[in-house]
Amino acid sequence: MRWLLIAQDGWGLGHVSRQLGLARELRRLRPADTFLFLTYSDATHLIAREGFASVKLPSPEWFKDADQRSMDDIERLLVATAVTNACATTYRPQAVVIDSFPVGNRGEFSIFQRLPCLRFLIAREIRNPLPQWEYRESLPRFHALLAPYAEHEIDLNLPKGPPLHWVGPILIRGRDGLLPGHEARKRLGLPPEGRVCLVSFGGGGNPAYARLEDWTLQLAARYPDWHFAFATPPLLQNFTSDFGLNNVSRFDYYPMSECLSAFDGAISTTGSTAYELAQMAVPAILITDVSPQNDEDFVAKAKRTLGQNGGFVVRAYDTPALDAAFAQFDAPEQLAAMRQGRLATEPRNGAAKAAELLARYTQRV
């Protein structure tokens, strides 16, 4: 069986990480199958590191001003469509898994709607799908939809058609893949003793990344007894490692989820990392109102993933709210209670369930 997994990331790693988590489980169940990724992401080296081949489409630059883009948007679409069509006709996938956008952002993946293959969609919350006129109309052409949420966690508002399976968050690592805390700190070059806070704002492509780091550095200066570990995400460019503070360092590691045992708490945006922090039971301050995209309700997502006592929701650049939240982290009893609350509820990693479902569909053909 030839599988094609399509990850449409532009400035983050959510699509790539979900598809990698799924592909790893599929490979475990079906080791004789062939797997190929088709992606816009500039993180193809991470796909290779997990042992998968990939085909790279032109890097998206929608978040840049027009005069800063390396290609004309129409030319980029034409190249992406041509490469996609060539991949479809030469590789001839027997099963295609697409994340979020069933025909791509601008219809470039429409060819897979016509191929004689199994089609599966990871159906996420999409408030403003593009292209608007084809999103809902294309869904009935899929054999199944996989919702990466707990059952009925959100209202996806999907039309009737293919079966919808609630599989839970699809993660690249589950709690069973978590390294011991001392080993994780050693890998990340962190102090073996003392309290450590993770600072991570997504895959690195967000134009606001540097400003968010500067904002958080002000907090680090007020808490010298904590060590603040700033992630260097794969897509981050023009970053500094000289923060001017003794209690701040930077690390580079992927997948970060297997090292989350290194941290006593985390300050993070509300992307895929929010689910990883919940899976690995790390108390978190989740920062909202950061994404230039408006395809999810990030405040509601932050509240869902944190639960009743897993941390706090803070809007970006609300310094008094960040100070108040971190003051709770600084209280050992409160931090321990948050961690115990997260340990008591282990969200299932949906990668295994999703792979088992897809494997059953392949047995019908």
Q: Do 192 and 162 share a structural domain?
A: no
Q: Do 226 and 84 share a structural domain?
A: no
pLDDT of 365 reads 58
- Per-residue model confidence as pLDDT tens digits over 196-241: 999 999 887 777 788 999 999 999 999 999 999 999 888 877 777 7
Contact partners, residue 7, CB within 8 Å, separation at least 6 = 15, 16, 18, 19, 37, 38, 39, 40, 41, 99
Q: With bands split at pLDDT 50, 70 and 90, how would you rate the model's confidence at 38?
A: very high
Is pLDDT above 90 for 78?
A: yes
Number of neighbouring beta carbons within 10 Å of residue 56: 14
Spatial separation of the C-alpha atoms in residues 124 and 110, rounded to whole Å: 19
Q: Do 186 and 51 share a structural domain?
A: no
pLDDT, mean of residues 49-61: 92
pLDDT of 186 reads 98
State residue 35 phi and psi, 5-degree precision: -130, 135
pLDDT, mean of residues 310-328: 97
Q: Do 155 and 224 share a structural domain?
A: no
pLDDT, mean of residues 336-352: 88
Quote the domain boundaries for residue 233: 175-344
pLDDT of 105 reads 82
Q: Cα 98 to the chain's mean position, in Å? A: 15
Q: Do 245 and 107 share a structural domain?
A: no
pLDDT of 160 reads 85
pLDDT of 220 reads 97
Q: Do 182 and 102 share a structural domain?
A: no
Q: Do 234 and 279 share a structural domain?
A: yes
CATH of the domain at 60: 3.40.50.2000
Q: Do 144 and 11 share a structural domain?
A: yes
Q: Do 150 and 115 share a structural domain?
A: yes
Is pLDDT above 70 for 336?
A: yes
The domain tally of the chain equals: 2
pLDDT of 35 reads 98
Q: Do 215 and 71 share a structural domain?
A: no
What integer best gives the mean pLDDT of the chain? Answer: 91
Q: Note the pTM of the prediction, 2 decimals.
A: 0.93
Q: Do 246 and 137 share a structural domain?
A: no
Q: Do 266 and 159 share a structural domain?
A: no
